[in-house]
Amino acid sequence: MMIVPELWREARRHPWLLSLSILLLLLVFATHLLQALALAWSLAAFVRGDAAGAMAGIGAILAIGVMRMLLTLVQGDAAARLGGRVREDLRGAAVAAALVPERLHDARLRDGSTQLALGDGIDGTDAYVSKYIPAVAQLAVGSLIAVCLVAVLSPVIALCVAGGILLAVLGPLAWKRMLARRGFAHWDTYEALSGDLLEALRGMSTLRALGDVPATRARLQARSEALRVATERVMRSSLAETAITDFAVQAGVVIAAGLAVVSVMTGQPPAIEVYALLLLSSETFRPVRELSRHWHAGFLGLTAVPGLAALGAFHRPVPAAAEIEPAEELEADRATGADALRISGLSYRYPGTDHDVLRGVDLHAGRGEVHAIAGPSGAGKSTLFDLILGFLPPTAGTVELDGHPLRPRDVAVVSQRPVLFAGTIRDNVDLFDAGQEALEDACAAAGVLDEIRAIPGGFDAMVTEAGTSLSGGQRQRLALARALLAQRPVLLVDEPTSALDDRSAHTVAETLERVAAEKIVLMISHRPEALARVADVRVLREGTLVKDAS
């Protein structure tokens, strides 16, 4: 038996479902005990030649079987709902934890490992939560009740059965601990292979161009071989642990049966007690067998626990009072009412460095015109955007919208490399159910409507994962249309014309000028033609923001 405190805490967050699942499982086990007694009655009646008694016992067996079938269905539904709730909680917490600044800027983390933890790792916890945890409760309560029933008939046999249960539970613990250690190594190997495979798929064209496909293939083969070896090691340990459990169960049943047979030979108990002892002694080990079966089913989720813990899936931060907005503030709509974005004394230093990337940045950006930030590569332009978006916490300074702290939901962003998802064009752009008319208006403003209409299927045309079926310019203009539909008062645009031809760049520039009449538009750009139309251009030099003198 292996107790994982993190998963037990997650299950206890849903006490009604957990209690219902355990109670129903105990009732299911109770039907097995009742059926054993009914079978003992029926057999004893048959031996006595009591046909009516035998038929009554058979009727009871059938009725109990129907009852168990119904209880099993209800228990399975409760357990499935418990597992689903826990998976939902874990995935929500893990995604939120994965989006914190420390992880977003940690070069040691790999997307493949995070993807594996969010997918297979969290899904793997279902069997432990929905099956193994109730089975532990069944073992603790159900086996005790069964042993007590046996003790009423024969205290000696009850002691033998109890000893077999203890051996079946405690004997494999050392093996299970070794299995868990090996399982964690197995999960680490699984993560490494997932990370390598995802990176190889993403960079396949680059690998082919560099001629590195054979080396990549060899690296993936080595990872696969390491995973195979780790899997076999886990399976060998698991087989040994299963052998110990089976030995304890079989030994307990055989000893109990032997003692019952001895009792029959001495002629002490009546037939019904002998049959009851034989059947109940076997049923007392049912929780042990079920626990062992559910252990193996939930093993993958168990091995994923350290990775999920490192990801932050079990952490539930309590927001500070200053971070909790009152109800009226949550209902406030700044989409059309914001006039000015003010950055005051903003500074930031990356952890582990000895100098500030930004130092005392001041900026006032209002509606009515596009505001641009230029500067050489590495000057801190992207860091400034991350601070505005809330992806990084400033070491000093404030970012306010109309005198109030800027909230992430006040900002829409168009990145230099926008992200599109597998789905239709409509799914990728109209995330807010704005409707067909608003969707077309936004796409027209972004200069991509005519191209969408020219694609077979139009807005219902499928987009491949990461948008690779579209050109870079199309992806960027779709991202701009998506940001326009967001109806947020601040629009951040990172190199909006970098992937566009001159005509499309001109269209996007005109669009931003129109949008600036209603929104605060702040842009990063290097292209002279994009900056030529902007009256307010600031330049980042050595971490400070200065007015462009040109």
pLDDT in tens, 454-475: 888 888 888 877 677 777 778 8
Question: Looking at 293, 311, 329, which one is the last position of a domain?
Answer: 311
190: burial class by Cβ within 10 Å (0-12, 13-18, 19+)? Answer: buried
Q: How far is CA 476 from CA 448, 452, 464, 479, 504, in A?
A: 10, 13, 15, 5, 11
pLDDT above 60: residue 178: no
114 and 191 inside one domain:
yes
pLDDT above 50: residue 537: yes
Structural domain including 49 reads 7-311
296 and 383 inside one domain:
no
The pLDDT value given to residue 334:
47
Pick from 62-71, 112-121, 313-322: least confident: 313-322
The pLDDT value given to residue 349:
85
Average pLDDT over residues 280-304: 75
- Are 521 and 451 in contact by the 8 Å Cβ rule? The answer is no
Which CATH number do you get for residue 372?
A: 3.40.50.300
69 and 127 inside one domain:
yes
298 and 346 inside one domain:
no
Which residues lie below 8 Å from residue 319, measured CB to CB, with a gap of 6+?
none
Average pLDDT over residues 133-155: 87
The pLDDT value given to residue 155:
83
User: Does some domain include residue 327?
Assistant: no
Distance (Å, rounded) from C-alpha 114 to C-alpha 160?
49
Average pLDDT over residues 430-448: 84
The pLDDT value given to residue 337:
56
For residue 432, what are its two tokens?
């807010």
Distance (Å, rounded) from C-alpha 486 to C-alpha 413?
10
Which is more confident, 273 or 437?
437
Mean pLDDT of the chain: 77
Average pLDDT over residues 207-225: 73
DSSP string, 267-320: T-S-HHHHHHHHHHHHHTTHHHHHHHHHHHHTHHHHHTHHHHHHHTTT--PPPP
pLDDT above 90: residue 132: no
User: DSSP code of 535?
Assistant: S
For residue 55, what are its two tokens?
């038929």
pLDDT above 60: residue 50: yes
The SS3 call for residue 405 is: strand
User: Does some domain include residue 516?
Assistant: yes
Burial 458-471 (b: 16+ CB within 10 A, else e): ebeeebeeebeebe
Question: Looking at 311, 330, 365, which one is the last position of a domain?
Answer: 311
The pLDDT value given to residue 369:
86
305 and 399 inside one domain:
no
Average pLDDT over residues 79-94: 88
The pLDDT value given to residue 243:
58
User: Does some domain include residue 324?
Assistant: no
303 and 369 inside one domain:
no
Question: How does strand 423-424 pair with strand 462-463?
Answer: antiparallel
The pLDDT value given to residue 319:
46
pLDDT above 90: residue 21: yes
Residue that the structure tokens 């989720």 belong to: 301
156 and 237 inside one domain:
yes
444 and 539 inside one domain:
yes
Task: Give the chain's domain count.
Answer: 2
The rounded percent of the chain whose pLDDT value lies above 70 is 72
Distance (Å, rounded) from C-alpha 313 to C-alpha 117?
10
Ranked by mean pLDDT, which of 44-48, 112-116, 211-215, 440-444 comes out on top?
A: 440-444
**The amino acid at 329:** E
381 and 507 inside one domain:
yes
Which residues lie below 8 Å from residue 199, measured CB to CB, with a gap of 6+?
110, 111, 112
Which residues lie below 8 Å from residue 244, measured CB to CB, with a gap of 6+?
168, 171, 172, 175
pLDDT above 60: residue 452: yes
Which CATH number do you get for residue 284?
A: 1.20.1560.10
pTM: 0.62
User: Does some domain include residue 28?
Assistant: yes
The pLDDT value given to residue 472:
73
User: Does some domain include residue 317?
Assistant: no
Distance (Å, rounded) from C-alpha 513 to C-alpha 526?
18
Average pLDDT over residues 18-26: 94
The pLDDT value given to residue 331:
41
The rounded percent of the chain whose pLDDT value lies above 90 is 7
pLDDT in tens, 366-375: 888 888 888 8
The band of 422, judged by pLDDT with boundaries at 50, 70 and 90, is confident
Q: How far is CA 502 from CA 153, 475, 505, in A?
A: 93, 16, 5
The pLDDT value given to residue 90:
86
Which is more confident, 190 or 10?
10
172 and 300 inside one domain:
yes
**The amino acid at 442:** A
pLDDT above 80: residue 205: no
474 and 535 inside one domain:
yes
21 and 143 inside one domain:
yes
The pLDDT value given to residue 25:
93
Question: Looking at 292, 311, 330, which one is the last position of a domain?
Answer: 311
Average pLDDT over residues 77-90: 90
